[in-house]
Amino acid sequence: MRNITCDIADMRKRVFAEVAKMAYAQDYERMNRLPYEILPGDETRDTIFLERAIVGERIRLAMGLPLRSIAEHSLLSDGVEKSAVAEKYYDPPLINIIKYACNACPPTHYEVTNMCQGCLAHHCYHACPKDAISFQKGKAVIDQDKCIKCGKCKAACSYQAIIRFERPCQQACGMDAITSDEMGRAHINQDKCVSCGMCLVNCPFGAIVDKGQLFQLIHAINRGEKVIAIIAPAFWGQFGENVTAGQVKEAMKILGFAALEEVAVGADLCAIEEAEEFLRDVPEKQPFMATSCCPAWSAMAKKEFPGMAPYISMTMTPMVLTARLHKRRNPKCKIAFIGPCAAKKLEASRRTVRSEVDFVLTFEELRGMFEAKGIDFTNIPDAEAIYEASAPACGFAAGGGVAKAVEEVIHRIDPTVEVKTVCAEGLRECRQMLRIARTGKYDGYLLEGMACPGGCIAGAGTVQLPEKSRQRLEKYKAAAPLSNPMDTAYMEEIKLLHEEYEDWDRVGRH
């Protein structure tokens, strides 16, 4: 299970901060020394060399550089000149495994712990359908060659002495994209992976890492580019319990951003367009419609259920809509999306999106920039923060929020329409939802899929517990001036959705 507060999270925080400092100072000679600065001290701890090696590769990936081959000698800074630029998209793969950091956890299996009491009932033995359980010195033992991993022995044990062992990254992956290589180390099947990032925040060894654009973004700022940050509504509470939107806005100016804008404005337009699409197409043209805003969910649906791909909404995501709005107003600006999601990095690198979104940073990476600049929010004066988006649009950040917003718009357009919705959180639950939809049970429904359990507030790039984020989000929604996306001041801008329509692929658009 992911833990927001742990040594791996501390390592990530320090790496992002040091990479940001290096970029602001344009001092690349520090790069080879950074692992020693981040993990100082002598070699009394026998894992210090490994930890520094892991930090080194994390630094490279945070800068958008590839992992180094362990079979060849190279400096940590090799290739840095190629990343010290103001614009760079991701070289695949986005999600990487530092092989020597992987613990090579054993495959999934059931195991009898020392809590076994050697009871006379032998419930585990009688529950096993394959005679895989025997007794040695009075204790139960499982023959792994016979075991079919049904779990009946675990359920039958009166003492809960039998555990199901599963490597954390595999357990977190809703796509079953993680297997083992010939040495037992984790391996990602990139054909299955949708870059949700759940594996990288659940690996307790820090072996799984995504690439970043933090380095390139700061170079763009240093070069004098007009970089507009657009921030996802899940940001509430991410940078401190009492940090206000106005303080975040002021802090972004210190970092060098030209402006900070709400992605929730794009969520308003997304809700309107999806509502109109639903009313137009369901059930006359298609049996149901699925929301489009989560890129990992959309990618999963297209990979696993290609026949249902046309039923995913054609509406662009709030990130892209908001970026388009500001690019049309400031054609020469650069757009940096700040959000909770690793998959947004992959979305932004697509051919049909990269002209709109130049950089994607997670909240975790932005926090590194704050650290690099020594920003203390207790010393940042509060400033006026203009709320332009509706409460339902802000609610996109939590599970069920997208469907609720679309439902609100449908009821405004036609109060007589009954909207049936079903929502799924986590890719396993999303897959099950589509399996059921395939049977026809959800005909006429609006389906919402979120790759992360809890929604965007639990994304791989968040730094606060989801429940706290949900509480802050509710306060944010309560402060929103609008109760329905249809009241947005950007209603006229919705025509942007249809510009250059012929350039958008039917199922690749989002």
In this structure, are 332 and 196 located in the same domain?
Answer: no
Residue 509 lies in a domain: no
CB 287 within 8 A of CB 162: no
DSSP state of 390: B
Cβ proximity of 383 and 245 under 8 Å: no
User: CA triplet 136, 140, 144: central angle to 5 degrees?
Assistant: 100
In a domain, 440, yes or no: yes
Beta bridge partners of 455: none
Q: How far apart are CA 96 and CA 86, in angstroms?
A: 23
**Which residue from 8, 445, 441 is spatially nearest to 205, judged by alpha carbons?**
8
CB 451 within 8 A of CB 296: yes
Residues 134 and 244 in one domain: no
Q: Which domain holds residue 25?
A: 7-104+184-215
Would you put residue 402 in left (φ > 0), alpha (ψ -120 to 50) or beta? alpha
Q: Are 422 and 430 in contact (CB under 8 A)?
A: no
Q: Is residue 282 part of a domain?
A: yes
Give how far Cα 248 sits from Cα of 215, 237, 307, 358, 385, Å: 21, 10, 43, 21, 9
The answer to whether residue 261 is domain-embedded is: yes
Domain contains 90: yes
Is residue 176 in a domain? no
Q: In whole angstroms, what is the distance from residue 226 CA to residue 271 CA?
A: 29
3-state secondary structure 300-332: HHHHHCHHHHHHECCCCCHHHHHHHHHHHHCCC
Question: In sequence order, which residues have a C-beta less than 8 Å from that of residue 377 and are 6 or more positions away?
Answer: 239, 240, 243, 247, 251
The answer as to whether 14 is a domain residue is: yes
Q: What does the angle CA 206 – CA 233 – CA 15 come to, to the nearest 5 degrees?
A: 25
Same domain, 436 and 357: yes
Structure tokens at 53: 């090696």
Q: Kindly state whether residues 455 and 429 are assigned to the same domain.
A: yes
CA distance 119 to 142: 16
- H or E, element range at 211: none
Same domain, 364 and 417: yes
Residues 487 and 350 in one domain: yes
Count how many domains the chain has.
3
Q: Which two tokens stand for residue 447?
A: 């389906």
Residue at token pair 């870059």: 195
Residue 298 tokens read as 């959309």
Residue with tokens 């001041």: 489
The answer on 226 and 208 residing in a single domain is: no
Cβ count within 10 A of residue 340: 28
Does 271 share its domain with 340? Answer: yes
Task: Retrieve residue 124's tokens.
Answer: 């585990």
Contact 458, 198 (CB under 8 A): no
Q: How far apart are CA 80 and CA 68, in angstroms?
A: 12
In the chain, how many H helices and how many E strands?
Answer: 18, 15
- My answer on whether 228 and 377 are in the same domain is yes
C-alpha distance from residue 428 to each of 96, 117, 173, 304, 432 (Å): 22, 35, 8, 11, 6
* Total Cβ atoms within 10 A of residue 389: 29
The DSSP call for residue 260 is: E
pTM: 0.93
Per-residue confidence (pLDDT) for residue 2, from 0 to 100: 76
Under 8 Å between Cβ of 97 and 208: yes
Say yes or no: 205 and 325 in one domain. no
pLDDT of residue 494: 73
CATH code of the domain covering residue 153: 3.30.70.20
Does any domain span residue 510?
no
Asked whether residue 281 falls in the same domain as residue 141, the answer is no
Question: 349 near 90, Cβ under 8 Å?
Answer: yes
The answer on 229 and 200 residing in a single domain is no
DSSP string, 462-483: --S-HHHHHHHHHHHHHH-SBS
Q: Determine whether 240 is exposed, middle or buried from the number of CB atoms within 10 Å of its CB (0-12, 13-18, 19+).
A: middle
Over the chain (510 residues), what is each successive 10-residue block's mean pLDDT? Answer: 83 97 92 94 79 96 93 90 76 93 95 96 98 96 97 98 96 96 96 96 96 95 97 93 92 97 96 96 97 96 95 94 92 96 92 86 98 96 87 97 98 96 98 98 98 96 93 91 95 66 42
- Which residue type, as a one-letter code, is found at position 401? G
